[in-house]
Amino acid sequence: MSLLEKFEPLSSIREDLNAHGMMPFGVVTEKILSPTEGMVDGKRTILAGTNNYLGLTFAPECVAAAQQATADEGTGTTGSRMANGTYSGHRALEQELAQFFGRESAMVFTTGFLATMGMVATLTGPGDVLLIDGDSHASIYDGCKLSGADIVRFRHNDLADLEKRLRRLGERTANTLIVSEGLYSMMGDQAPLAGIVELKRKYGGYLLLDEAHSVGVLGAHGRGLAEAAGVEDEVDFVVGTFSKSLGSVGGFCVSSRPELELIRMAARAYIFTASPTPSVVASTRAALRLVAAHPELREKLWRNATRLYDGLAKIGYQLGPQAGPVVAVFVDDREQAIAGWHQLLAAGVYVNLVLPPATPTGASLLRCSLSAAHTDEQIDKILEAFAGLPVAAGVPAPSQARSQNV
């Protein structure tokens, strides 16, 4: 096979997807009207697949901060954090993140993907063990590849399997990093963190928790699942992103381990890339203040999430195992999922189409994500659009997906 032939299968997949006249992946939002509305294919569309959990992308404080920073400090830093790319704003953001999470220190990365991949790859090396949840995000898997450590998977959210793996590692647990996610981005379910922490206490090891989808979403103060589960002291490293509840782009790691400051000098994903732009740093700082000051945003988000989850369940859809800001609607048949996605869009509702192998099980998903900025009327319109799908009449069909994930 020549170099480029391996892409051939993708071309038939793309043809399938294009059959309905529009490619579901990489949809163009022609005009963005608000955190929850945009123009898609010339039509006003409710955005229900944006991960814009708190709806802060248009918060006046964040927009003003970004504008001011651009005016004051320019459009980009043009350099790495290790060279010329550390401005006082970057340091201030790190201090504020550390303070927000009640940790000793924080590192800011240019994207969430780089933060997770970089921390996983840097914390472990040849001879160490990465013990990761089977449904881990691509950034975790890529970090594993780069680390050179032994990679051991435990079944998704399965404490018995995790315990078996830890027990078998014996003394090697001293060199083991357990990796889990606060809220899983595709199914919307949460890690059994208290149980994971208990096993870590019993067998040893370190714990890295990816709170990309749970910061600002879970916990009384929005510090994520570790706060909600009351086990923050036992989570050695928390990584996360600015591109969801904080409404910008970028990533971070917080920890009270003094070694975090040394990792700054070792993490290639931190060193060999340009630092976040001043506007991103400024809007993220403003958003972090809003998250801390407005717990009612979180309450609204959860009200919205529950409204959608309950409504879809009532229609008869098979959903992810747990209500939350990510609501995964299972569609057994891939073609039905693709057709359903197009019908939702025609009805003025954008959700994410997720097909295997990007889904953890064989099922296809119409994945919704909620925002605190959604109105009740918008959620009812989303429900109406889902109720109108032909597949709604046929569901629930028995699927292996649910039983594997509960």
Partner 1 sequence: MGSYQESVTLIYEALEPFLQPGLVLSEDSALVSDLGLSSLQVMELVAEVEDRLDITVPLNVLPDVRSIRQFAELLSRLTGDAT
Burial (CB count <10 Å: 0-12, 13-18, 19+), residue 272: exposed
Site for partner 1 in 328-347 (CB under 8 A): none
Q: Which is nearer to partner 1, 147 or 241 (CB)?
A: 147
Q: How many angstroms separate the CA atoms of 354 and 99, rounded?
A: 36
C-alpha–C-alpha distance, residues 62 and 57, integer Å: 7
What are the tokens at 328? Answer: 């995964």
182-382-221 Cα angle (round to 5): 30
- Residue from 40, 69, 107, 129 touching partner 1 (CB under 8 A): that is 129
Task: State the nearest-atom distance from the C-beta of 209 to partner 1, in Å.
Answer: 21
Among 146, 151, 292, 315, binds partner 1 (CB under 8 A): 151
Residue in the block written with tokens 């098979």: 318
**CB of 169 or CB of 178, closer to partner 1:** 169
CB of 117 to partner 1, least distance (A): 16
- Our CB check for partner 1 shows the closer of 151 and 274 to be 151
Size of the site for partner 1 (CB under 8 A): 11
Name which of 17 and 151 has its Cβ closer to partner 1.
151
Distance CA 66, CA 104 (A): 27
Using the minimum distance from each CB to partner 1, give the nearer residue, 168 or 201.
168
Q: Of the candidates 27, 119, 140, 152, which one interacts with partner 1 according to CB under 8 A?
A: 152
Position among 108, 144, 282, 319 found at the interface with partner 1 (CB under 8 A): 144
Residues 160-179 that bind partner 1 (CB under 8 A): 165, 168-169
**Which range binds partner 1 by CB under 8 A, 6-14, 151-159, 227-235, 364-372?**
151-159
Considering only 46-54, 107-115, 144-152, 191-199, which stretch makes contact with partner 1 by CB under 8 A?
Answer: 144-152
Q: How large is the C-alpha radius of gyration of the chain? A: 21
Q: Which is nearer to partner 1, 132 or 225 (CB)?
A: 132
CB 329 within 8 A of CB 25: no
Q: What is the DSSP letter of 57?
A: G
Adjacent-strand bridge partners of 331: 364
Query: Considering beta carbons, is residue 151 or 249 the nearer one to partner 1?
Result: 151
Q: Is 54 within 8 Å of 291 (Cβ atoms)? A: yes
Strand partners, 314: none
Listed residue (351, 312, 303) closest to 50, CA to CA: 351
In the complex, what is the shortest distance from the CB of residue 238 to partner 1, in angstroms, rounded to a whole number?
25
Residue 329, phi-psi category: left (phi > 0), alpha (psi -120 to 50), beta (remainder): beta
Query: Under rule CB under 8 A, which residues in 284-323 are in contact with partner 1?
Result: none
Backbone phi, psi, residue 254, to 5°: -120, 145
For position 137 contacting partner 1 by CB under 8 A, the verdict is no
Contacts to partner 1 by CB under 8 A:
129, 144-145, 149-153, 165, 168-169
